[in-house]
Amino acid sequence: MLTIGLTHYLVLAAVLFCCGLYVMTTKRNAVGILIGAELVLNAACLNLVAFSRYRTGRLDGQIAALFVIVLAAAEAAIAIAIFVNYYRLLSTIDADEGRQLRG
Amino acid sequence: MSPQEIADILKTQFGDALTAVVAEGSHPHVTIAAERWHEAAVFLRDDPRLQMNMLRCVSGLDLHPEPWIEVVYDLISMQPGGQQGLWVNQSTIAVRVRVPRDGGHVASVADVWPAADWHEREAADLFGVIFDGHPDPRRILLPDDWIGHPLRKDYVFPTEYDGIPCAVTAES
Amino acid sequence: MTGEAIAFYLLAAVVTAFALGCVLASNIVRMALCLLGTLGGVALLYFLMAANFLGAIQLIVYAGGTLIVIVFGVMLTSRAYGTKLRVRPLEMIGAAVVTLALLAGLTAILVRTAGPVVSPSTPDFGVAQIGTELLSTYLVPFEVISVLLLAVMIGAAYLVQPEKK
Amino acid sequence: MANFTVEDALRSRWSASAKPRAVRTFAVLGIVLAVAALGLGYLASSAPGAGYWLAVLGTALAGVAAMTCLGAAFVIQFSRLVGTWLFRLAFLIFVGGLVGIALLAWVPALLYEQVDAAVADHYGAGATGVLTVADLEAVGWALPTDSIEVRRQGAVGWAPPTDSIDGRGKAVVGSAHPTASFLAYALWPLQFRLTRDILALVGVVGFVSLLAMFTIWWERKVAGRMQSRLGPMRVGGWHGWAQSMADGIKLLQKEDIYLEGADRPLFKLAPYIAFMPALALFLALPFSAAWICRDLDIGLLFILALAGIGVLGVIVAGWASNNKWSLLGAMREACQMISYEIPLGFALLVPVMTTGTLRLTAIGELQAGGFHTWLAFQSPFTLAAAVLFFTATLAACKRAPFDLPEAESELVAGVYTEYSGFRWSLFFFAEYAEMFAVGALAAILFFGAWYSPLPANWGAAWLHGPLWQRALYGILFNGPLWLIFKGFFFLFVQIWLRWTLPRIRLDQVMYACVQVMLPLSMLVLLGATFWALLVPHGSMLAVVANLACTALGVGAVLAIIGIVFYGYSNRRQLVGTLAIEHWPGS
Amino acid sequence: MEDKVVHGQPDLLTDFDRQRVAADDLRTEELLINMGPQHPSTHGVLRLMLRTDGELVLEAIPHIGYLHRCAEKIGENVTPVQFVPYTDRLDYLAGMNNNHGYSLAIEKLCGLEVPERARYIRVLMCELNRIASHLVSFGCYGLDMGAFTPFLYAFREREYILDLFEATCGQRLTYNYLSIGGVTQDLPGGFADKLAHFLDYFEPKIDEYNNLLSYNYIFVKRTAGVGVVSAADALAYGLTGPCLRASGVKWDLRRCVPYEIYDRFEFDIPIGIAGGAIGVPREVVVGDSWSRYFVRMQEMKQSVRILRQALQQLPAGEFRAKVPAALKVPAGEVYLEVEGARGQLGYLIVGDGKKTPRRVKIRGPSFCNLSIATHVCRRVLIADVAAILGSIDVVMGEVDR
C-alpha cells in the first residue's frame, strides 16, 4: 500500500471511468454527456501514462495520451458546435428530445 | 411665406374644417377640426408650397373653464438654398386642434412626423387626450399606474401614491 | 510512507471527489467546474508520474481550452438558467447498479492480477525527447492528427454558422 | 483637549535640559552594553562546556539591553517623530519593500549557493546527502563563485564562458570561526528542499501582495498625473502611499453581498479560481537564474496553462452572479481569451524556437551580455513577436484597450458587477499580479531577462570577489532587481495605454485577433523559422539585423522619452487662476 | 424565461413591454436587459430596455420620466420672474441658455425692451455656457468610449468657465443670471480681461483634444459609421442642434432665424462632412456618431469666435431694463425657440392677463433628440448603444422636465 505502483493508478482510472460512464448514461443535458465523455477519456489517459511509466519504460504511453487529449479537444469543439445547432433546431439541450433519427 | 398665405392655402383645401385663423401676433396659428387633422397633416407635409418638414413641438393646452383642450402643433418648413449652404426658414405655422376635455380624440400624426410620437405621448400623459392610431400609447413621464392627468387645470393632487404619502400644501 | 504515496492518495481523493461531484451535480456549470477539478487533479498526477509536459498540456488544452468551450456552450444554449433536466430515477438506479458492478469487477481484476509493486522503470523524459519521438516514430499519427484538427476547425465553423435564407 | 495626542504628551514631557542628559545616559549605557555583548559573544565562541551556554545567554541579554537603551535614546532624541513613528516605519516598508524583496531574493540565492557548495564539497559534485551542522561548521564560510552559472548553463547544454568555470573556492576546512559556526546553524535547514520551498512560497505570496498593493497605488498616481490631477494624496502623508492599505482595510470591512438567486457556492468560489492560478504562476516565474521556486523544464507552458485557468474563474464569476451584465462580461471574456491565446501561443513559440528550450531560466541565461544580445533584437521576426506578445497579453490580462469583460461604460462593471468587498479585491489582486507576471515574462522571453543592458564583461570580475561584491553585482548587472524593474516598465506601459486609449468594440477585438494578429503571428513564426534555418549565427545578415533591431528598439525608447519631454516642456497652462478670490478688488 | 424575476433584477417590465417581447422571446435565446436608470453611460436616469441576441441589440426602448419634476406645472403656478431659476434645472449643463430662452419669450410676450449691454452680456454668457456644455459632452463621450483622460481635461477647462460664472453671478451650475429684462447684475470688473485670457488659452486646446481623442484610430473606429441618421430622418424626428447639423443640415437658429444680437457676429455653422475631406477620417459617414461629436468640437471654436467679437463690441450702459414689480403675463401667446447647447430650446407661453401664465410648455431639445434612439439602436452592438447615446448627448433634466 505504501509504495505506489501501477495498480494504484489503474484503480483510480477505473473509478474515473465508471463515474464518466454513469454521467454519460444518466445525464440528459447534452453538455453533461460531453463532460462524461471527457471523464472517460481522462481515465484512459491516466492508464496510458501509468503503463508508460511503470511497464513499457518508453514514451509511447505519454504520446498516446497526448493524442487523446488533442482528440478530446477536437471532439469537444465539434460536440459543442452540434449542440448549438441542436439547440437552435429544438430549443432544448435535452439529449432525449432528439428523436428524429429514430426508426 | 407668411402665416396668412398658409392659412389661405389651407382654407381652400379644407374649407370649413379650418375654424379659426390668427395670422398676426407672436404665435400665428390656425385651428382645424379634429376629424380632418390627420389629412391636413399629410397635406401640410407633402404640399409643395408648404413642405412643413419638421414638427417642432406638440403642446396640450387646457382652456379651463371652457370644456376644451387644445393640442398645439408647431410646424416649420426648412429648406436648403440659403447663402453659404445655410438652410432657410420658409415658413412657420402652428396648428391647433380642439377636442372636448373628457374623452377627446385626435388622430395621431406619428406616422406623418415620427417626432410626434413622444410629444403625443406626453400630451396624452399630462392632459388625457387620446391619440388614435398611436404606435406606442403608453404613459411617458408618469408611472403607468398614475391616476389623473396633472397638467389639467382641474387636476386634484393625490394624497398618496403607492402607499407613499404626498405632501400637498394648500392650493393657492 | 513516502512523499509520493502521500501525494498520490491526496490527489486520488481529490480526483475521486471531483468525479463524484460530476456525477451528483445537477447544475451543468457546477459539473463543468467539477470536471475542472478532476482534470487539474489528473494533471497533477501526471506531474507525479514525471510526465511534466503532459501535465502542462492537460492544463492548457483541457482546462484552459476545452473547458472554456464547454462553459461557453452552456451559456449559449441555456436560456432558462434555472432549467434543470432531472435524471429519471429508474435510469439512475439502473446506471448506478451497472457502473458499480463494473467498478467492482474492474477493481477485482486489477487487484487480482496486480504484479509486484515495482518502482518506475523509466528515466524522467524531457520535452526534447517527446518532441523527437513525435517527429520521428509518431510522425504519421502526428500529421493525421493535424489534418483532423483542420477538419474539426472547418467542421465546427460550418456547423455553427447561422442558416442563410 | 480633543486634539491632545500621544505625540503631544511625549513632546511636553521633557524639559530643555533634561532631554539631552537622558539621551546621553541612554546612549552611553547602550554602547557599553553592546560592547559587552560583543565580548561575551567572542567568549562564547571559545568557552567550553557550561561556560559556553552562560556566555551565549549573556550575549543575548546584553544585546537586548543594548538595543533597548539605544532605542530609548533614539526615541527621546526624536520624540517629536514618535507619534508618526509607526507611519514612518510602514512607509519604509512600503517604499523599501520591493527593493528589500529584491535584495532578499538575491541573498537567499547566495545562501543556497553556499549550502549547495558545502554539500558538493562534502560528498563530491553530483552526490546527494544530508549534512550535519558539524559538517557545515567544518566547511566554514567558503565562497564558491560560479556554481549558479555553471549549473544553469550546463543544464541546457550551453557552453559557459571559459573563465567562469574554474575558481571554485576551496573550503577552509577546520576553521571554527564564530561567524562560520553561526552561519552553519543558520544555514543548516536550507539544504532541505522543503525548507526552501516554504521560504519561496512565503516570498512569493509576500511579493504578490506587496506587488498588487504597490501597483494599484502606482496606477492611480500615474493616472492622476496623466489627467492633470494628483491622485491619492492623503493617506499616510507622502503622496498617499498608504492608500492601497487603507483600501484593503476598507474592503475587508465591507459587507459580503450575495444576490438573490445567485449560484452561491460558485459565486464564492470564483474569486479563488481566478486568484490561485495568478499566484501559482509565480512559482515557475524566475526572478533570476537562481531565484526561482521551481525551475520546470516546461516553465513557459506551465505559466501559460495557469493563466488559462484563471480565466475560468472570471467566467464562472460572471455566470454565478445571476446578472445579465456579468453574463455578457463572462461571454466576452471567454471569446476574447480563447481567441487571443492562439496569437499569444504563436508569439511565444518564436523565442522557444530560437532558444530551443521551454525552460525560462535557460531562455533568460542566453540573453546575458547587453542590449544587442536580447532576444527581441535578434531578428526582425523576434522583434515583431515581442510586439505581438505584448499586444496579446494586454488582451489576456483584460487591460485597455481590451478591457471588454469589465467595460464600465457598457456593462456597468462586467463580471465584477455583483462582487463587493474582499472577493472583489481578490479579482484585482489576480489582475495586477498577472499584469506584472506577463510584463516579467515579456522581459524574460524578449528583453534580456534579469540582465542589465550593460555589456556582460562589465563588473565580471566582481563575480569572483567577496560576498558584498557579488551581491552588488547581482543588484547592478543581473539579478531579481533588474527583472522587477523591467516587469514594472511593461506594467507602466500597460497603465499608460489604459489611460490613453479608448476601448475597442467586441467585433473589432475579434477582427483584430482573427484577421490581423493571427495571420501576422503565423507569418512571424514562419519567418523566424526560416531565419533560424537560413541565416547562420554570426553571418553578416544576422549581425546587420541584430544591429538594426537594436537600434530600432533603443531608438523607440529614446523617441518616447523625447516626445514625453517635449510635450511636458511645451505644455500649455493657464497662467494664474480665474477663481473669484483672485479677482481685483475681491 | 421565468415570470417573476428577470434574471436577478426585479421585474421592471410594463405590460406593454411584456406583450411586445413575449412573442419574440420564446423563439430564440434573446436576452432582455435593463440598461439604466443606474448605468454609467446612460447619462443620468435614462432607462433603456434592450432586447439583445447576445451582444447584438435588436431593439432599444427608452423609458423616461425618472427625473420628472413637474417643471411645466410649476411654471403655471409661479410668476415668470420666479420661474427663471427653475429653467436652470432643465438642461443643467447649460443653465444660461435656458434662462435666455425663457426670458426672451416672456419679454416678447410682455413687449419689454432689453438694453444693449445686457444683450451682449447674454450672448457672452450663452456662448460660454455652450462651450462648458460641449466640454462635458466631449469628456463624457470619451468616457463612454472607455477613454478616461479626456474627461478630466474637459472638466479642467470647464472649471475655468465655471470660475468666470461664479465671479459673475455667484453660481457655478444653476445661475438664475439671465433674467427677464436683462441680467441680474453687471459683469464684475476685469471680466473682459479674464475672459480674453481664458479664450487665448482655450482655443488651441481644442486642436489638442482633437488630436487626443477625435482623430484617435480606435475612437474613429468606434464611432464612425455608427448610428447614422440621415437628414430626412433627422428632420422627421425633430432633431435639432448638433445632431441635426451632423446629418448635413446647415441649420442654426442663431443664423437662420436670428434672435437677440446674433446677426451682428461672424461665425460659421459646422456640419457633418463625409469622410475623406480635410480633417475628417475616411470612415466617417454624414450623420454618424463621430459627426455629431465633431460638430460639437467645432462649435466650441465658433463660440470662441463669437465671444471674441462680443467682447470687442461690448457697450457700456444699463444691464437691466425697468421691469414692473408686479409683472403680469398679458393675454396672448408666444412660441419662441433659441439655439441651446443641445438644440432648439422652445418655450410656448400662453398668458391670460394674470400674474402667472396659463401654460408654459418647454420643448427640450434632448427630448426630441432622444426619441430617435429606438430608430437608430437597431441591430447594433451593446457598445454601440453607449456610442450612440453619448453622441446624441442627452441631459435627462431636460427630457423629463
Residues E93-110 pLDDT 10s: 988 999 999 999 988 888
CATH 1.20.120.1200 fits C1-84, yes or no: yes
Interface B:A, ≥3 CB–CB pairs < 8 Å: no
b/e per residue, D15-31, with b = 16+ CB within 10 A? eeeeeeeebeebbebbe
Is a pLDDT exceeding 90 seen at residue D521? yes
Closest-CA distance of chain C to residue D455, Å: 31
- Please answer yes or no on whether C64 and D309 come within 8 Å at the CB atom: yes
Touching check for D352 and chain C: CB below 8 Å? no
Query: So what's the pLDDT on residue E275?
Result: 78
Query: So what's the pLDDT on residue D188?
Result: 64
Question: In the block, which residue shows the cell 528589500?
Answer: D100
Per-residue pLDDT band for C129 (boundaries 50, 70, 90) equals: confident
Alpha-carbon distance of D222 to D229, in angstroms, equals 10
Contact assessment for residue C69 and residue C11, using Cβ atoms and an 8 Å cutoff: no
Touching check for E199 and chain D: CB below 8 Å? no
Alpha-carbon distance of D407 to D400, in angstroms, equals 9
Identity (one letter) of the amino acid at B135?
P
Q: Residue E6: inside a domain, yes or no? A: no
Nearest residue, CB atoms, C23 vs list A22, A49, A62: A22
Nearest to B112 by CA among E152, E236, D223, E37: E236
Touching check for B141 and chain E: CB below 8 Å? yes
Identify the CATH number of the domain in which residue B132 sits: 3.30.460.80
Q: What is the mean pLDDT of residues D285-289?
A: 80
Strand segments, DSSP code E, in E3-46 are 31-35
Nearest residue, CB atoms, E251 vs list B57, B87, B138: B87
CA D352 to chain centre: 23
Alpha-carbon distance of B99 to D134, in angstroms, equals 110
Residues E125 and E253 grouped into a single domain? yes
Q: Which domains, ranges and CATH numbers included, belong to chain A?
A: 9-91 (1.10.287.3510)
Per-residue pLDDT band for D8 (boundaries 50, 70, 90) equals: low
Angle between helices A6-26 and C28-48 (to 10 degrees): 170
How many CA atoms lie less than 13 Å away from D104 in the CB half-sphere? 13
Domain containing E40 equals 15-63
Identity (one letter) of the amino acid at E252?
D
Q: Residue B149: inside a domain, yes or no? A: no
Q: Residue E376: inside a domain, yes or no? A: no
The residues pairing with B131 across neighbouring beta strands, listed in sequence order, are: B106
Please give the mean pLDDT across all residues of chain D.
Answer: 75
pLDDT tens track for E330-370: 888 899 899 988 989 999 999 888 888 988 999 989 998 99
The region that residue E211 occupies, defined by phi over 0 for left and psi between -120 and 50 for alpha, beta otherwise, is alpha
Residues E22 and E121 grouped into a single domain? no
Q: How far apart are the first and last CA of chain C?
A: 67
Interface chains of chain D (3 or more CB pairs under 8 Å): C, E
Alpha-carbon distance of D482 to D33, in angstroms, equals 41
Interface chains of chain B (3 or more CB pairs under 8 Å): E
Cell numbers for C102:
463494473
Strand segments, DSSP code E, in E184-310 are none
Percent of chain D surpassing pLDDT 70: 68
**3-class DSSP state of D451:** strand
Residues E43 and E81 grouped into a single domain? no
Chain E residues in contact with C79 by the CB 8 A cut-off are: 1, 29
Q: What is the mean pLDDT of residues D547-561?
A: 87
Domain containing B57 equals 3-142
DSSP E66-130: TT---HHHHHHHS-HHHHHHHHHTTSTT-HHHHHHHHHHHHHHHHT----HHHHHHHHHHHHHHH
Q: Break chain C into its structural domains and give their ranges.
A: 1-84, 87-114, 125-165
Query: So what's the pLDDT on residue E129?
Result: 92
- Please answer yes or no on whether E109 and B26 come within 8 Å at the CB atom: yes
How many CA atoms lie less than 13 Å away from B93 in the CB half-sphere? 30
Is a pLDDT exceeding 70 seen at residue D497? yes
Phi and psi at D479, nearest 5°, equal: 150, 175
Q: Residue E347: inside a domain, yes or no? A: yes
pLDDT tens track for D557-574: 899 889 888 888 887 777
Q: Residue B154: inside a domain, yes or no? A: no
Query: So what's the pLDDT on residue C28?
Result: 78
Chain B residues in contact with E400 by the CB 8 A cut-off are: 141
Query: So what's the pLDDT on residue D85?
Result: 58
Q: Residue E251: inside a domain, yes or no? A: yes
Chain C neighbours among A 80-99 (CB < 8 Å)? 80-85, 87, 93-94
Nearest to D107 by CA among D452, D486, D472, D365: D472
pLDDT tens track for D200-240: 677 777 777 778 888 888 899 988 888 888 888 877 667 77
Query: So what's the pLDDT on residue D526?
Result: 92
Q: Residue E171: inside a domain, yes or no? A: yes
Chain B residues in contact with E110 by the CB 8 A cut-off are: none
Alpha-carbon distance of E50 to E54, in angstroms, equals 11
The region that residue E274 occupies, defined by phi over 0 for left and psi between -120 and 50 for alpha, beta otherwise, is beta
Cell numbers for D95:
517604499
Q: Residue E156: inside a domain, yes or no? A: yes
CA C111 to chain centre: 24
Query: What's the CA angle centered on D512, arms D508 and D516, to 5 degrees?
Result: 150
Alpha-carbon distance of D349 to D356, in angstroms, equals 10
Per-residue pLDDT band for B102 (boundaries 50, 70, 90) equals: confident
Per-residue pLDDT band for B47 (boundaries 50, 70, 90) equals: confident
Per-residue pLDDT band for D389 (boundaries 50, 70, 90) equals: very high
Any idea which of A9-13, D127-131, D338-342 has the lowest mean pLDDT? D127-131
Chain E residues in contact with B119 by the CB 8 A cut-off are: 368
Cell numbers for D10:
511625549
pLDDT tens track for D41-65: 666 655 555 566 666 677 778 888 8
- Please answer yes or no on whether E2 and C79 come within 8 Å at the CB atom: no
Closest-CA distance of chain C to residue E3, Å: 11
b/e per residue, C49-69, with b = 16+ CB within 10 A? bbbbbbbbbbbbbbbbbbbbb
Residues E32 and E148 grouped into a single domain? no
**3-class DSSP state of B94:** strand
Per-residue pLDDT band for B12 (boundaries 50, 70, 90) equals: confident
Query: So what's the pLDDT on residue D137?
Result: 58
Chain A residues in contact with C106 by the CB 8 A cut-off are: 11, 14, 17-18
pLDDT tens track for B65-101: 888 888 999 988 888 887 888 888 878 888 988 888 8
Nearest residue, CB atoms, D228 vs list E5, E54, E153: E153
Alpha-carbon distance of E384 to E379, in angstroms, equals 10
Radius of gyration, alpha carbons of chain C: 20
Closest-CA distance of chain E to residue B13, Å: 24
pLDDT tens track for E184-241: 888 888 888 888 888 988 998 898 899 888 998 899 988 988 888 988 889 889 899 8
Number of domains in chain E: 2
Contact assessment for residue D456 and residue D370, using Cβ atoms and an 8 Å cutoff: yes
- Please answer yes or no on whether B172 and E77 come within 8 Å at the CB atom: yes
**3-class DSSP state of C133:** helix
Q: Residue E286: inside a domain, yes or no? A: yes
Chain C residues in contact with E29 by the CB 8 A cut-off are: 76-77, 79
Query: So what's the pLDDT on residue E138?
Result: 92
Nearest residue, CB atoms, A80 vs list C73, C85, C95: C73
The structure's pTM equals: 0.79
Alpha-carbon distance of D474 to E258, in angstroms, equals 76
Nearest to D336 by CA among D344, D348, D347: D344
Q: Residue B166: inside a domain, yes or no? A: no
Nearest to D394 by CA among D448, D441, D327, D331: D441
Nearest residue, CB atoms, A81 vs list C57, C78, C159: C159
Percent of chain C surpassing pLDDT 70: 82
Nearest to C58 by CA among A44, E309, D141: A44
Closest-CA distance of chain E to residue C83, Å: 10
Q: What is the mean pLDDT of residues D475-479?
A: 72
Per-residue pLDDT band for D287 (boundaries 50, 70, 90) equals: confident
Chain E residues in contact with D262 by the CB 8 A cut-off are: 8
Question: In the block, which residue shows the cell 453574463?
Answer: D327
Alpha-carbon distance of C37 to C43, in angstroms, equals 10
Question: Strand E56-63 relative to strand E380-381: parallel, antiparallel, unpaired?
Answer: antiparallel
- Please answer yes or no on whether D324 and E9 come within 8 Å at the CB atom: yes
Query: So what's the pLDDT on residue E130?
Result: 93
Touching check for A66 and chain C: CB below 8 Å? yes
Position with higher pLDDT, D464 vs D541: D541
Low pLDDT (below 50) residues in chain E: 1-14, 16, 18-28
